[in-house]
Structure 1
Amino acid sequence: MRPVTLLEVARHAGVSQATASRVLNGSPRIPGAGLTERVRKAAAELGYVPNAQAQALARSLTGLVGLVVRDIADPYFSSIARGVQHVAREHDRQVLLSCTEGDLGAELEAVTSFISHRADALILVGSQLTRRSEHDRLLSSELKRYHDLGGQVAVIGQARPGVDSVVPENRAGAAALAEALVGQGHRRFAVLTGPVELRTAVDRTTGFTEALRRHGLEPVAMVPGEFTRDGGFDACRRLVDEFGLARGRNGMCLLVVNDVMAIGAMACLRDRGMRVPQDVQVAGFDDIVTVKDHVPALTTVCLPLEEMGKTAMRMVLTDTARRRPRSMTVRGEVMLRDSTRLRS
């Protein structure tokens, strides 16, 4: 006779598998008395025998939180990590960091490793892909299994089914930036789009171009590149070489999908003898800490990066015995600075 599964108990009780797990596996994060009684009654009626390994995971609190980021050298990720760490210290938790360098296999390995070391919670930071892959399927399955056993999960970027999420409004922020620049008098634009397979890059590029089209404008060029300083340098170099960008009074405004790329683009322009903003204007996205001291100061969309990290950490520290995951959207604020200033 095959053993009764936790999923069968959950269905019999009319609750989620996560709720059933918290009741039967001894998690301190259990639901109210009514739900608890229903789950225990269903388990007794079906003859369910709890799994010892699942009970061990549900009951243990190691004080460890796994944080998975794409590139810790990028101030976008390090600022978020600082916010996570700040809240962790307040609650006597330790943060374990894994940097994937954009390797999808490394992301999955980090998650499985943190789970095997019984981290109480996981926070994943970074863009998802535009197309669902086998890696994404495996990762979602691993996160669901962990969550069903009582683990806490939050993502920063795009929402994932069944877990908490902190979601920056990339498309809306990019559109607001383009609108502000058109309002300043800019009429000729090029876009450094970032990696075409990342949803963050695609959403920001879409936001830029849709806003421009509302004013009857089209980018003269759209050049992809990596989400790095060197990626921005190389994309700008291709723009200069292939599209004939040259010195000229108020000739072109570059919309760049993140600040790190924008810094690389400005370095390329200096290398080619062009001045920002006198010859070419540049705008980025994120408002990373380093751009506040950059000369000229970079026009960008400010995201509260550290606060995003704090929010995700608070989410995973909160009891999640509920049916629906939480999702918080984060708006960006356009910051017009010297890098897009037009000469009068």
Structure 2
Amino acid sequence: MAVTLAEVAAHAGVSPATVSRVLNGGYPVAGGTRTRVEQAIEDLGYIANGPARALAAATSDLIGVLVHDVADSFFGILAGSLQSALAPGGQGGARRLAVVCNTEGAPAAELDYLALLEGQRAGGVVLTGGAVEDPEHTRALAARLARIAATGAPVVLCGRPPLPLPAGLPVATVMFDDRGGAFRLTEHLLTLGHRHIAYVAGPPGLSTTRERLAGHRDALREHDPELPAHCAGLTVHAGFERSAGYDATRELLRRGAPFTAVAAANDTVATGVAAALREAGLRIPEDVSVAGFDDLPVCVDTAPTLTTVRVPLREAGVLAAQLVTGRRALPPGGITTLPAELTVRASTAPPPATARAATRLPAATEGGRP
């Protein structure tokens, strides 16, 4: 039976008019009151679009695609591939409208977009990128996705771990082997002879960051049980932007501990790492090797070309499109893990016979930025 606006109002302890104002937006509602109403909507599973509730089994041709940042090449490639695959020529499938929702990595925005897609009776939802590892958000996200999937609309988690959802729902997970890829990258640096390996990790509390950092530490530990502790002071958490790589590398240089290689959270971060090293008078790879992750198109245009780990973004986009439209059956267990392959280029080499990695920033560059 449909949940009514009056029931939401009673649950929140406010008037129906207040609930309506919260739903419609554009009207001033006190922060605490708005929070109570939104929580009541979440608890009761209220959908503002009445016809959507009445036609719960019906869905539209709209496919919602949630990305952290559409301007980021990682998400742009993934979303573009997915969108193209939603209406492949010559396959006779119905055309689908992909609506890309830019969350900026904010958990609240993720939930808000899902609520809007639920109200629009979306025919499917694809969530891309690393998951925020917060138990409260995970529970709220799982509840919202379970409601969407219960209408028959497929849900695909792409590039993130599975969620605790009831069995039998049309939910698929497409994962990247981030841990294995990071292991192979660090193993490559160790094989070259590097022992002082700096690591510019992504933001803490994100599944992608955890997996890639774990793979890096696994490789260090397998080579020498003492290496993870030895390199711990050479690990810096930063964002996924170029400027984050630049700032993190300057911080490493300020700390003064020598390093002969830097593994970056992604390729964009690696370009910032390279800029900071060049500014400090260090050559790549003669003095310091640099490596990234993802294998974005920019990798073959950097000087030198960037050693990285190839994540199959285009393949993942096609697979997600097939799963969210039902063109491909759910795999056993609902999970597909795509490989992440080491791609060696010119930015990594054996460390110099006498490691001359800088221990501080030259005075001329203090406070500077390229």
TM range (shorter): 0.7 to 0.9
Partner of 1:58: 57
Percent identity reads 34
Separation (CA, whole Å) in 1 of partners of 2:51 and 2:332: 27
Separation (CA, whole Å) in 1 of partners of 2:223 and 2:333: 38
- Scaled by the length of structure 1, the TM-score of the pair is 0.78
Match for 1:211 among 219, 229, 234? Answer: 219
Note if 1:233 corresponds to 2:229. no
Partner of 1:112: 115
Separation (CA, whole Å) in 2 of partners of 1:331 and 1:122: 23
Deviation by residue 1:291-327 (Cα, 9 ceiling, x = unmatched): 1211111111101111111111110111799897621
Separation (CA, whole Å) in 2 of partners of 1:82 and 1:173: 24
* Unaligned residue ranges in structure 2 (runs of 5+): 2-49, 166-170, 353-370
Deviation at 1:244, TM superposition (A): 4.6
- Structure 2 CA distance for partners of 1:176 and 1:287, relative to 1, 3 Å: same
Separation (CA, whole Å) in 1 of partners of 2:275 and 2:66: 30
Contact 1:54–1:149 under 8 Å retained in 2: no
Q: Relative contact order (C-alpha < 8 Å, sep 6+): which is higher? A: 1
Within 5 A, what are the aligned runs for 1:129-140? 129-132=132-135, 134-140=136-142
Separation (CA, whole Å) in 1 of partners of 2:125 and 2:238: 30
- Structure 2 CA distance for partners of 1:158 and 1:83, relative to 1, 3 Å: same
Q: After superposing the two structures, state which structure 1 stretch, 64-73 or 226-235, moved more.
A: 226-235
Note if 1:148 corresponds to 2:132. no
Contact 2:156–2:324 under 8 Å retained in 1: yes
Letter paired with 1:151? A
Separation (CA, whole Å) in 2 of partners of 1:267 and 1:172: 27
Separation (CA, whole Å) in 1 of partners of 2:174 and 2:245: 26
Within 5 A, what are the aligned runs for 1:325-336? 326-336=334-344
Question: RMSD in angstroms over aligned alpha carbons?
Answer: 2.5
Letter paired with 1:65? I
Note if 1:288 corresponds to 2:301. no
Deviation at 1:186, TM superposition (A): 2.0
Partner of 1:276: 284
Q: After superposing the two structures, state which structure 1 stretch, 268-277 or 300-309, moved more.
A: 268-277
Match for 1:88 among 86, 89, 93? Answer: 86
Partner of 1:176: 184
Letter paired with 2:154? Q
Contact 1:281–1:339 under 8 Å retained in 2: yes
Within 5 A, what are the aligned runs for 1:315-334? 315-318=323-326, 326-334=334-342
Separation (CA, whole Å) in 1 of partners of 2:84 and 2:137: 31
Deviation at 1:263, TM superposition (A): 1.3
Deviation by residue 1:28-72 (Cα, 9 ceiling, x = unmatched): xxxxxxxxxxxxxxxxxxxxxxx9754513224x22110000011
Partner of 1:337: 345
Contact 1:191–1:254 under 8 Å retained in 2: yes
Separation (CA, whole Å) in 1 of partners of 2:316 and 2:328: 19
Contact 1:152–1:320 under 8 Å retained in 2: no
- Structure 2 CA distance for partners of 1:222 and 1:321, relative to 1, 3 Å: closer
SS at match of 2:294: coil
Structure 1 outlier segments of 4+, above 3 Å: 51-55, 319-325
Partner of 1:243: 256
Deviation by residue 1:235-266 (Cα, 9 ceiling, x = unmatched): 11111112355xxxxx5111112111111111
- Structure 2 CA distance for partners of 1:148 and 1:265, relative to 1, 3 Å: same
SS at match of 1:59: coil
- Structure 2 CA distance for partners of 1:123 and 1:228, relative to 1, 3 Å: same
